[in-house]
A = this chain, B = another copy of it.
Amino acid sequence: MTRTEAESADTPTRVAVSTVIFGLRHLPGSDATCVVLPLVRRTRDPHEGQWALPGGWLGERENLEVAASRTLAETTALAPSYLEQLYAFGDVDRSPTRVVSIVYWALVREDEMSSSQEGAQENVAWFTATELPELAFDHRLIVDYALWRLRNKVGYSRIAHGLLADEFTLAELREVYEAILGRRLDPANFRRQVENSGTLIPTDRFRTGSHRPARLYRYNQDVELAERGPLEVR
């Protein structure tokens, strides 16, 4: 096929946008925290009844990121604290009819999550990332890849803040890292690493618990180590 022929073979394709939305949940019994994500039960023919990622068709005059935000609002009623494109999936056989899916992944803050989960819509449920049901289409592959990206990115950027409220203790921040990475971190070393990174601003307030109060920190907006895509390239 020559370039000219390719240029004229202008066949429209159905384009969908889906989003892998990550949040945190404290397990009531133990002191552990785990990564959770919302899934939508399908009410239509391909894979009807199975759980799938929240998503929808790309609007005619809708930017990709806007479509992802819409998805997020429809299932969590929240504004994302972090939103980044994950990958474009377009294999011919990934759906009975050809669909190209632009997939985003997002973080929602823990303090806001509880409110939205109470007023949950029908057919939406939150699952622990390590205990997922069978998913529709290739969505299991997509979630696994998003989890890989989350775990990777937490190591070289500061996205963990996207899962916390404005003010937080170092222990709470460490909890986020431990939940994402799935392993315990040394509190002493964690403190120094994150202090030296210059991304935290200590406040004068303290979280008073059952023991010695812990200083509250805020995220330093000036520092933006996260790389979300070509749009941020200066």
Q: Which residues of A contact B (CB under 8 A)?
A: 1-4, 6-7, 9-15, 40, 43-44, 54, 56-64, 70, 74, 85, 87-92, 98, 100, 102, 141-142, 144-145, 148, 229-230, 233
Contact = CB atoms under 8 A, between A and B. Distances in A.
B58 A90 contact: yes
A74 B3 CA distance: 7
A90 B230 CA distance: 12
Contacts of A141: 230, 233
Contacts of A63: 90-92
A229 B70 CA distance: 25
Contacts of A102: 88, 90, 100
Contact of A2 (B12, B74, B91): B74
A65 to B, nearest CB: 9
A222 B91 CA distance: 27
A88 B64 contact: yes
B15 A13 contact: yes
Nearest to A141: B230
A229 B142 CA distance: 10
A6 B100 CA distance: 16
A45 to B, nearest CB: 11
Contacts of A58: 11, 13, 90, 100
A62 B91 CA distance: 8
A232 B168 CA distance: 37
The 10 closest A-B pairs by CB, nearest first: A12-B12, A6-B56, A145-B230, A64-B90, A88-B88, A13-B15, A88-B102, A11-B60, A63-B91, A9-B57
Given A11-B57, A100-B58, A100-B102, A87 B229 contact: yes
A9 to B, nearest CB: 5
A137 B92 CA distance: 27
B233 A145 contact: yes
